Homo-oligomer: A and B are copies of this chain.
Amino acid sequence: MAQKLIYTNHVAQELDRLVEAIAPSNIVVIVDSNTKSFVLPRMQAESEAIAKASVIEVAPGDANKNLESLSSIWKQMQEAGCNRLSLVINLGGGMVTDMGAFAASTFKRGVKFINVPTTLLAAVDASVGGKTGINYNGLKNEIGVFNEADAVIISSTFFNTLNDQEKLSGYGEMIKHALLSSKEEYESLLKHDVTNIDPDKMLELIKSSVAVKEKIVTEDPREKGLRKALNLGHTVGHAFEELSIERKSPIPHGYAVVFGIVCELILASKKAGFPNAEVTRFASYIKDTYGVFPFTCKEYDRLIALMHHDKKNKNSDEINFSLLEAPGTIVLDCVASDDEIKEAFDLYRELSGE
């Protein structure tokens, strides 16, 4: 991967060093209202680069990762006098890094940007790998480009502002990476209590986790093949996430992913030889740690319709999955019929004790 990943708990120091090397004509820092309150003041005190940066604030939450917010970023970049030699620093969760990176990638056909993820979810997933973009007309990440940050500063120092749910959400993507990597990584991850890990140990775990994604993205930056492995859990997970939004009680992304992984491991046990006993054990771990996603058989059709809309499906009459034969052994492009998916839903609900 061309981008520079820097793991550190001395963020301000590393950031200032990077900015000095880049020597931009001016700097803007993009924050949402949360990071503006909880992270920016500290960074302004500690980092020379952030202290002199123009601040661009966006409203928080995935619902605001839209064209209106993007356009307001562009306008404020103009007002701040940005040119091709400007630098954008994205300081926030995945919503800020996705949209801020897209704004930087398109302003005057691209200026440099550095991601400083402030949530566990963004640190292990969104901020790394070059996917940028916004939601559009009801579809997630519909508009964007592939473009890697000049650097990503990954740290665990901001996580004291996160609640347990936010930590578990990020840990969901780490569990996914571990499953894609090896039995050892996966076994090891299930032993930790993410709500109570010290920052240095956490940084070490993040580093191993991002290395899994990094390896895959380096081989296939544009998602033509192997990168689809990173969709593990996301085909079903996105449908759960969308349904939860339709019900007006949205679940965190990483929760949707782990619930999705359970369903997709059930499918994998049927279609790719993933061991049954391991499915049961994993489902029980997830239930104990994350709870379950409750739904009835009346909602199966809606869930399947949502999956058909998922952009990863080439044709709308089949649903594609990245499945596992075992932890670390990936089988891409498995097609499942609607009936097979419904059968997996039945089993998921049974394992959930619904």
Contact = CB atoms under 8 A, between A and B. Distances in A.
Given A105-B145, A110-B145, A139 B25 contact: no
Nearest to A130: B109
Interface residues of A, number: 35
Report whether over half of chain A's contact residues are helix, strand or loop; otherwise say mixed: loop
Contact of A25 (B74, B144, B315): B315
A85 interface: yes
A136 interface: yes
Given A71-B67, A139-B78, A131 B109 contact: yes
Interface in A104-120: 105-110
A290 interface: no
This chain: copies in complex: 2
A87 to B, nearest CB: 14
Query: Which residue, of A83, A109, A142, has the highest number of chain B Cβ atoms within 10 A?
Result: A109
B145 A145 contact: yes
B78 A109 contact: no
A146 B141 CA distance: 20
A4 interface: no
Contacts of A316: 81
B109 A144 contact: yes
